[in-house]
Chains A and B, each alone.
Chain A
Amino acid sequence: MSAKGTEVKADTANVEVSKSTGERPKWDNKIQYLLTCIGFAVGLGNVWRFPYLCQIYGGGAFLIPYLIALVFEGLPLLYLELAIGQRLRMGSIGVWNSISPYLGGVGMASMVVSFLVGMFYNTILAWVLWYFFHSFQNPLPWRSCPVFNLTEYVRECELSSPVNYFWYRETLNITPNIETSGSLQWWLVICLATAWCIVYVCFIRGIETIGKAAYITATFPYLVLTIFLVRALTLPGAMTGLKYLFTPQWEILKNPRVWLDAATQIFFSLSLAFGGLIAFSSYNPQKNNCEQDAIIVGCINSATSIYASIPIFAILGFKANSNYEDCLNNNILSLTNAFNMGDQNITIENYETWLTYLNTSDPTKVANLHLKVCDLQTFLDQSASGTGLAFIVFTEAVIKMPGSQVWSVLFFIMLFTLGLSSMFGNLEGVLTPLLDLKLVPTCIPKEIFTGFMCLVYFIFSFIFALGSGNYWLEIFNSYVGSVPLLVIAFFEITAVSYVYGINRFSDDIEWMTGRRPNIFWQANWRVISPLMLLVVLLAYVVIQAMQELTYSAWNPNYVDFPMYEVLPYPGWVCAICVLLSTVPCILIPLVALYRFVHFLKKRVERLRAPSFYENEGYVSDM
């Protein structure tokens, strides 16, 4: 790296090989690369996790810890990953092996995490596809309960709601607990097959096809968000929702949990430590301004989160308003029927006056009606994140909007493209190291290998198509996609800062971009970011360990149905949770140990019998 002479030769050598088959693939142009990185970073979490965090952590006030975390944790790590990948021109395993063979485990951990996340992430896309397929009907199937016996609705649906019923029964056909696996739901299997076929089409030739697909998958969500923004702002009740979202509650900032969640949100939102970003930037020409790229990707990701929360909250405000009016109308109907007053004499506007009048004139009769207390604030407080937001709350809002089918179709296509662009990063995080390690026999063309990869993923994701699939997905989501990533990122930044050396790293960056990284980056890489990561990691582990291992189950026979039944995880499931969290992390010390043992063996052998024919020039590194 420091001998400039070999580098010049390397450049000319690379130019000479442009016609041979062995050269590293590269991006067609910079835009494709940036769009792919942005697409990888901008995912479902920007739409269904950030607005929820904003809501529960005091609206506008949450932006402060969020932006601080972006500047001191997100951007430095992002810059580091892009620079490392671009300089060493290899996937995650190759990169960390190059920095130090003892750290090869970091790359392996990245690959394992990418593989596990890819398995369940595409299941969410399969669910999105299912809803998309069902959006082409009039009326939408989650608008009303199915009819049973011509005279009554299905009981499970009546007790909960048509939206809940459609999600839990007709989509997931969920079992009452995680021990009951149920059977494989054929409709989910064919949705999974479709999802994996679509992923395969885009992924078939690696970055060649991904780059072209990124033009659509990365830009389409913005188009839909803008359309929704315009529509949502004209809905009644939208302003209530927005005011509720953005009104800052400054006292919340005193709660350390807010800072922890902001730091973890930024970290997971930027898709760091998956190895995908390293893989993408490894296909760049070495002379590329990765500092600019990192700032662009990081800022666009956060801006998208904030931009997405506006239409989401406008629509949630509309839904709360609509529910509030329904509640009032129910009460009005009860009063009108009980007191035999003229139809529409009581309206939403004069409801309060009529209620007080009737209460004074005949309180017992009013009490017997058991009127519900309708409070707009309660409806606004019904927050949801994750699949609950997309498949329950949002679908309910959509059926109240005129032209529901159009909005439903647009929404689910947007979710699909958001998730698809993130899947590319997950898959590249697995494919690039495999190609670099030359584990793929060269006789197999890349298209067949990627097809084989998609097939393996597809078969593994059958777990999530069982009746208990949703419970398993929650487990994977909480335990794979959290602690291992933090551990990997911590090792990444300490490896580069202290094993490789920041000075050497700065030299490389100067060679690549023409400028040494300034004091801001240096301070962050050396001190601030590792410290922040360590604190976040420890706090997160402590909180996870303190949490009881329980989950919410959907059980129609539960006494308090439609409330969720809170059940503890059985012992074997707990063991799986622990395994999922620790296996990727264990790989790091395991590989280091393996290399050390190997090194000791070699040392011992060399001391015993030096051979003339031994090739000392070739120090084995793999």
Chain B
Amino acid sequence: MFPRLHFAVCFTAVLGPTLVHTLCPDTADGYKVRLSIKTALGDDAYKWDESEMFLFRATLAFAMRKYNQKPYEVSDVLVCNETQRVSFWFVVTDPENTSELISGKDVERAVRISRNRINNAFLLTDETLEFLNIPPTLAVPAESGTPPWLIVFGVVIGVVGVGIIALLISSFIQKRRKKGVTEGEEEDCEEEACDKGNGVSHPVEEGADGVNRGFVGDIPFTKL
């Protein structure tokens, strides 16, 4: 049994790279990655080459380590079908048993946990470094204690309230002052019929028959 096992391990070590070719890209445990470096960085775009690919595999191994603490190596991340786009497929093998693939669900969870770190390693974002079929965790907007609009509302209504109270108080004071002045003036008014209001009142003449001749004269308005 032991020699057979030893033989099996050797056999899969040789088979490792060929395993990729049979599994890529039609495996449920692999994911397609797509990078849009020029869109993200414009003139500062770096060229995608072997070293960048190495960094990617190392970052992914880091993400897997963070996820389940197994000693993943760069060689455990297998890449295939690289295109000019830049896009490629990858699968992750188990460090203890290189013929076994880590299940897609585990890879997905690992990537989601360390997504930010992976993005930052390449100066990219969720949109420019896409893992197809791994939805990015959407940023929940920071929930502040009071919504900011209530604060603005509070300020506005406070200012307006102060304004209303100030105007009411000032008109109250004005009326008090006027009352004091007009009490002095009323004595002058009583000698002749004072005009109050809009209309014109002629001095009232009491005729013998008691008819009020005050409102004589042409009526400027249309007669009924």
Would B196 and A17 count as touching, CB distance under 8 A?
A: yes
Given A194-B153, A343-B35, check contact A147 B196 (CB 8 Å). no
Contact of A136 among B37, B141, B152, B161 (CB under 8 A): B152
Would B149 and A137 count as touching, CB distance under 8 A?
A: yes
Would A9 and B200 count as touching, CB distance under 8 A?
A: yes
| Binding stretch for chain A, among B23-31, B53-61, B90-98, B132-140 | B132-140
8 Å CB contacts to A: which residues of B173-198? 175, 178, 182, 185, 194-198
Using an 8 Å CB-CB cutoff, how does the interface string of A131-160 with B read, 1 for contact, 0 for none?
Answer: 011101100000000110011110000000
Would A150 and B137 count as touching, CB distance under 8 A?
A: yes
Residue numbers of B with Cβ under 8 A of A are: 34-39, 83-87, 135, 137-141, 148-150, 152-153, 156-157, 160-161, 163-164, 167-168, 171, 175, 178, 182, 185, 194-198, 200, 209-224
Distance A604 CA – B88 CA, assembled complex (angstroms): 104
8 Å CB contacts to B: which residues of A183-207? 190-191, 193-194, 197-198, 200-201, 204-205
Q: Which chain A residue shows the least CB distance to B86?
A: A343
Using an 8 Å CB-CB cutoff, how does the interface string of A10-27 with B read, 1 for contact, 0 for none?
Answer: 100100110111111000
Using an 8 Å CB-CB cutoff, how does the interface string of A472-488 with B read, 1 for contact, 0 for none?
Answer: 00000000000000000
Would B153 and A190 count as touching, CB distance under 8 A?
A: yes
Q: Which chain A residue shows the least CB distance to B156?
A: A194
Distance A204 CA – B161 CA, assembled complex (angstroms): 12
Would B157 and A197 count as touching, CB distance under 8 A?
A: yes
Q: Which chain A residue shows the least CB distance to B213?
A: A617
A contact residues around B149 at 8 Å (CB): 130, 133-134, 136-137
The A-B contact count (CB < 8 A) is: 143
A contact residues around B197 at 8 Å (CB): 17, 22
| Binding stretch for chain B, among A93-101, A272-280, A524-532 | A93-101
Min Cβ gap A452→B in Å is: 13
B contact residues around A595 at 8 Å (CB): 224
Q: List 29 A-B contacts (CB under 8 A).
A: A20-B182, A20-B195, A21-B182, A89-B198, A101-B222, A129-B156, A130-B149, A133-B149, A133-B150, A134-B148, A136-B149, A147-B140, A150-B138, A151-B138, A194-B160, A198-B160, A204-B167, A337-B34, A337-B85, A337-B87, A343-B35, A344-B39, A445-B175, A500-B222, A615-B212, A617-B214, A617-B216, A618-B212, A621-B221
Q: Does A520 contact B (CB under 8 A)?
A: no
Q: A interface, how many residues as a size bin?
A: 35 or more
A contact residues around B182 at 8 Å (CB): 20-21
Q: Does A607 contact B (CB under 8 A)?
A: no
Would A201 and B160 count as touching, CB distance under 8 A?
A: yes
A contact residues around B34 at 8 Å (CB): 337
B contact residues around A205 at 8 Å (CB): 167, 171
Q: Which chain B residue shows the least CB distance to A1?
A: B220
Contact of B195 among A16, A136, A200 (CB under 8 A): A16
Q: Does A612 contact B (CB under 8 A)?
A: yes
Would A3 and B220 count as touching, CB distance under 8 A?
A: yes
B contact residues around A137 at 8 Å (CB): 148-149
Q: Does A341 contact B (CB under 8 A)?
A: yes
Q: Does A340 contact B (CB under 8 A)?
A: yes
B contact residues around A447 at 8 Å (CB): 167-168, 171
Q: Does A506 contact B (CB under 8 A)?
A: no
B contact residues around A152 at 8 Å (CB): 135, 138
Min Cβ gap B15→A in Å is: 29
Q: Does A513 contact B (CB under 8 A)?
A: no
A contact residues around B216 at 8 Å (CB): 617
Distance A288 CA – B221 CA, assembled complex (angstroms): 22
Using an 8 Å CB-CB cutoff, how does the interface string of A160-193 with B read, 1 for contact, 0 for none?
Answer: 0000000000000000000000000000001101
Would A336 and B195 count as touching, CB distance under 8 A?
A: no
Would A343 and B185 count as touching, CB distance under 8 A?
A: no
A contact residues around B84 at 8 Å (CB): 340-342
Q: Does A547 contact B (CB under 8 A)?
A: no
A contact residues around B185 at 8 Å (CB): 19
Q: Which chain A residue shows the least CB distance to B219?
A: A619
Most A CB within 10 A of own CB, among B34, B185, B200, B219: B200
Would B164 and A204 count as touching, CB distance under 8 A?
A: yes
A contact residues around B139 at 8 Å (CB): 147
Given A98-B221, A340-B87, A613-B210, check contact A10 B164 (CB 8 Å). no
Min Cβ gap A91→B in Å is: 12
Min Cβ gap B139→A in Å is: 7
Contact of A147 among B38, B138, B160, B194 (CB under 8 A): B138
Q: Which chain A residue shows the least CB distance to B37?
A: A343
B contact residues around A98 at 8 Å (CB): 221
Q: Which chain B residue shows the least CB distance to A617?
A: B215
Would A344 and B163 count as touching, CB distance under 8 A?
A: no
Q: Does A56 contact B (CB under 8 A)?
A: no
B contact residues around A129 at 8 Å (CB): 156
Distance A337 CA – B211 CA, assembled complex (angstroms): 103
Q: Does A544 contact B (CB under 8 A)?
A: no
Would B196 and A22 count as touching, CB distance under 8 A?
A: yes
Would B164 and A200 count as touching, CB distance under 8 A?
A: yes
Q: Does A499 contact B (CB under 8 A)?
A: yes
Min Cβ gap B37→A in Å is: 6
Would B215 and A343 count as touching, CB distance under 8 A?
A: no
Distance A13 CA – B214 CA, assembled complex (angstroms): 15
Q: Does A599 contact B (CB under 8 A)?
A: yes
Would B210 and A343 count as touching, CB distance under 8 A?
A: no
Q: Which chain A residue shows the least CB distance to B181?
A: A19
Min Cβ gap B177→A in Å is: 13
Using an 8 Å CB-CB cutoff, how does the interface string of A491-522 with B read, 1 for contact, 0 for none?
Answer: 00000000110000000000000000000000
B contact residues around A337 at 8 Å (CB): 34, 85, 87
Q: Which chain A residue shows the least CB distance to B195?
A: A17
Min Cβ gap A480→B in Å is: 28
Q: Which chain B residue shows the least CB distance to A145?
A: B138
Q: Does A361 contact B (CB under 8 A)?
A: no
Contact of B148 among A13, A136, A201 (CB under 8 A): A136
Distance A22 CA – B182 CA, assembled complex (angstroms): 13
Would B171 and A445 count as touching, CB distance under 8 A?
A: yes
